[in-house]
Structures are given as structure tokens and as C-alpha cells.
């Protein structure tokens, strides 16, 4: 008798397009005992879903820093929306939904506190630069050592625009990420009172409609219809041009200079100050500057907004002794229980 996993693999081979990734042929760096219930990409999805770095996304900024309003997106809700959009596209194109979901859920695991503001600070401070897609790969390969499939890791690495994903599923996630953040950032900005629907470019309102659901659906349809007879996933050129117009407008009016960014100077100061503090702190324990930089970068980038703020308060704001937390866990990064260096 065949296992459920084998039946699922056979179903993929029989129903998915030739250009789709088939889980039967997925490869990991380390071989493992196969599951009899789940395909390899399903196992990747589950490992990411149950990881500590995934749980921390609920307290990391999307656009609005540490929002108190429960309805603003965080990095976690953004990730879930990317996965939903990606699966919709993959299902319509007969691509591997499980791989798309795994890449989507893992694509921002390496993101910093305070969103792209925190990322830009680390990029300035770290000698080799900092990019959240590269850090996301480090999270799954090194920090949490999930032993994911090569296709999942490659999709996470190339989800940022400007990279060229090798799989059709990776291409889907690239578009899903862009579609998700453009649409939900518009909605959040309207909720915050920064813009109204009427403020959007007239040509975009005319092309997409004023209704968010219709705008989102049109973008998804433009990808599905344009990719149905091609091994490459792409958006209809006209829709892509209008999407770029809308994105450029968002950068000019929301992402770069708007009330949503008023607190970014403080956030940058928190990240920079913590980075410098921990660099100096570890120099008392280690004389390898590159190693220190690597440890501090991993530590800072893994922080949530709230944790970074609390650590800043703890280190630089006077407070009652009883509220102090300690950094034993941070030092454990350097040494295991036998005193051997880990990093």
C-alpha cells in the first residue's frame, strides 16, 4: 500500500503543470526520515509555522510602528496575506501551493524591529550590509536550523524585487508580496487618517476601481491571465504599469514622508544605540570583531518592536531594580553548557 505522502506526490505529478515544483524531487542539505503523511514542502511550511521567529512577527512593524490599534497590519498579518494571495495565484495556475505557502510564511523571518526603518539602520552599521531576505535565509539555515528544502530557501532568498526566482512558485511569491503590501498599506493609511481613497491617483482609481477588493482582484487576475500559457509568472504589462504608478505614489506619500514616519527617528536611535551597546558589551568576552558583529546583528534583527524598546529602557532609562531583566540568554549565544564556543 502507498502512503498518504506518496499519494499526494502522485497527485502533484498528475495535476500540476510541467513547470511546477514537485515535492517528490525536493532536496534538503541533510537527508531525513520521510513522513508518511506530509510532502516535503508541507513539512517546510509546518516547520516555519511552528518556529520562534514566525511567532515574533506578530510584534514587528509593517508600516506603522508598534501600533496599539488592533486592526493595523503587523509583519505577521502581512505574511499571512502574502500566503493567501500566493496560494490563490498558485491554485489558478496549477503550481505547487504548498511550496508557495512555505516561501510566503518564511519570507520575512529575518526582518528587523521597526520594519524597513530598522533594516536601513542595520544596513548602515553592519560592515557587510544588512538585507532582510538574506537574514531570513540565515534564520532558517543557521539560527533555527530548520533544514528546509532548497526550493523553499531559494524562494525566501529571492522574494525581494530585483532577484530572479528559479521556480515559478518563487515568482508567485514575489508578486504576492508586492500586491499584499500595496493594498493593505493603502487600507491602513486610510484607517490612520493619513489619506483617503479620493487621494489616490485618478488614473489608478479609474483603472482599478475605488474598491479595495476590486483593485486586489484585478491585480491577481492580471497575473493569472498573463501566465496561464507560460512557464514564467508575470503580470499583464498594462496592469503592471498601473501597479507601479500606485506603488510610486505610496512611496511619495506614505513610505517616505508622512505622519506614519514621524516616530522613525526615535526608532532608528533605539536600534543604533542598542547595536553599539551590545557591540561594546561583547568586546569584554570576545576579541573577534566579525564574530561579535554577527552575533549582535542576529540578536538585534530578531527583536520585536516591544522587546527592542524594553531593552533600550532597561539599558538607558532609570527604573526600579526589580524590573530589570538580564542578558544570560544573550551570552548563551557565545557558549554552550560545556563552555565551548557556538558561533
User: Where are the domains positioned within the chain?
Assistant: 264-332
CA distance 100 to 91: 10
Q: List the one residue out of 84, 14, 18 whose CA is nearest residue 230.
A: 18
HSE, CB side, 13 Å, CA atoms: give it for residue 4. Answer: 6
| DSSP class per residue in 209-231 | -S-HHHHHHHHHHHHHHHHTT-S
pLDDT at 73: 92
| Residues ≥6 apart with Cβ < 8 Å to 179 | 85, 216, 219, 220, 243
| Residues ≥6 apart with Cβ < 8 Å to 263 | 65
CA distance 99 to 181: 20
Q: What is the pLDDT of residues 200-219, one digit of tens each?
A: 999 999 999 888 999 999 99
Look at residue 74 and give its three-state secondary structure.
strand
pLDDT at 254: 86
- Residues found in the chain: 343
> In this structure, what DSSP letter does residue 143 have?
I
**Phi, psi at residue 156, to the nearest 5°?**
-65, -45
Q: What is the pLDDT of residues 50-95, one digit of tens each?
A: 999 999 999 998 887 765 678 889 999 999 999 999 999 999 999 9
CA distance 73 to 79: 10
Q: What is the pLDDT of residues 235-249, one digit of tens each?
A: 999 999 999 999 999
CA distance 150 to 80: 22
CA distance 338 to 239: 59
pLDDT at 259: 74
CA distance 334 to 16: 46
Residue 322's pLDDT band (cuts 50, 70, 90):
low
| Residues ≥6 apart with Cβ < 8 Å to 37 | 3, 4, 5
CA distance 199 to 202: 8
What mean pLDDT comes out for the span 120-137?
Answer: 98
pLDDT at 285: 93
pLDDT higher than threshold 70 for residue 46: yes
CA distance 255 to 258: 7
Task: Check: CB of residue 105 under 8 Å from CB of residue 45.
Answer: yes
Q: What is the pLDDT of residues 155-205, one digit of tens each?
A: 999 999 999 999 999 999 999 999 999 999 999 999 989 999 999 999 999
Look at residue 111 and give its three-state secondary structure.
coil
Map grid coordinates 532609570 to a residue. Answer: 318
Amino acid at each position: 500500500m502507498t502512503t498518504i505522502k506518496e499519494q499526494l506526490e502522485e497527485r502533484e505529478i498528475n495535476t500540476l503543470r510541467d513547470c511546477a515544483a514537485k515535492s517528490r524531487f525536493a532536496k534538503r542539505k541533510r537527508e531525513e526520515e520521510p513522513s508518511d503523511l506530509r510532502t516535503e514542502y508541507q513539512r517546510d511550511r509546518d516547520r516555519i509555522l511552528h518556529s520562534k521567529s514566525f511567532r515574533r512577527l506578530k510584534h514587528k512593524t509593517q508600516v506603522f510602528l508598534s501600533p496599539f490599534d488592533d486592526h493595523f497590519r503587523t509583519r505577521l498579518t502581512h505574511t499571512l496575506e502574502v500566503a493567501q494571495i500566493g496560494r490563490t495565484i498558485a491554485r489558478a495556475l496549477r503550481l505547487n501551493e504548498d511550496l508557495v505557502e512555505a516561501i510566503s510564511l518564511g519570507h520575512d523571518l529575518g526582518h528587523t524591529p521597526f520594519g524597513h526603518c530598522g533594516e536601513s539602520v542595520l544596513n548602515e552599521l553592519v560592515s557587510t550590509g544588512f538585507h532582510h531576505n538574506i537574514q531570513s535565509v540565515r534564520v532558517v539555515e543557521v539560527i533555527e536550523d530548520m533544514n528546509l528544502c532548497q526550493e523553499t530557501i531559494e524562494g525566501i532568498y529571492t522574494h525581494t524585487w530585483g532577484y530572479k526566482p528559479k521556480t515559478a512558485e518563487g515568482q508567485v511569491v514575489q508578486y504576492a508580496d508586492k500586491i499584499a503590501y500595496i493594498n493593505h498599506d493603502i487600507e491602513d493609511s486610510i484607517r490612520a487618517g493619513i489619506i483617503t481613497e479620493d487621494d489616490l491617483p485618478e488614473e489608478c482609481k479609474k483603472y482599478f476601481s475605488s474598491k479595495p477588493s476590486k483593485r486586489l482582484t484585478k491585480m491577481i487576475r492580471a497575473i493569472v491571465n498573463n501566465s496561464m500559457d507560460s512557464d514564467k509568472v508575470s503580470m499583464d504589462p498594462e496592469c503592471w504599469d498601473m501597479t507601479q504608478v500606485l506603488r510610486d505614489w505610496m512611496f511619495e506619500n506614505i513610505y517616505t514622508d508622512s505622519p506614519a514616519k514621524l516616530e522613525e527617528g526615535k526608532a532608528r536611535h533605539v536600534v543604533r544605540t542598542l547595536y553599539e551597546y551590545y557591540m561594546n558589551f561583547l568586546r569584554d568576552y570576545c576579541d573577534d570583531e566579525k564574530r561579535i558583529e554577527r552575533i549582535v546583528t542576529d540578536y538585534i534583527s530578531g527583536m520585536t518592536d516591544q522587546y527592542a524598546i524594553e531593552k533600550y529602557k532597561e539599558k538607558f532609562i532609570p527604573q526600579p531594580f526589580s524590573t530589570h531583566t538580564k542578558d544570560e540568554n544573550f551570552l548563551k549565544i557565545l557558549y554552550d553548557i560545556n563552555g565551548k564556543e557556538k558561533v
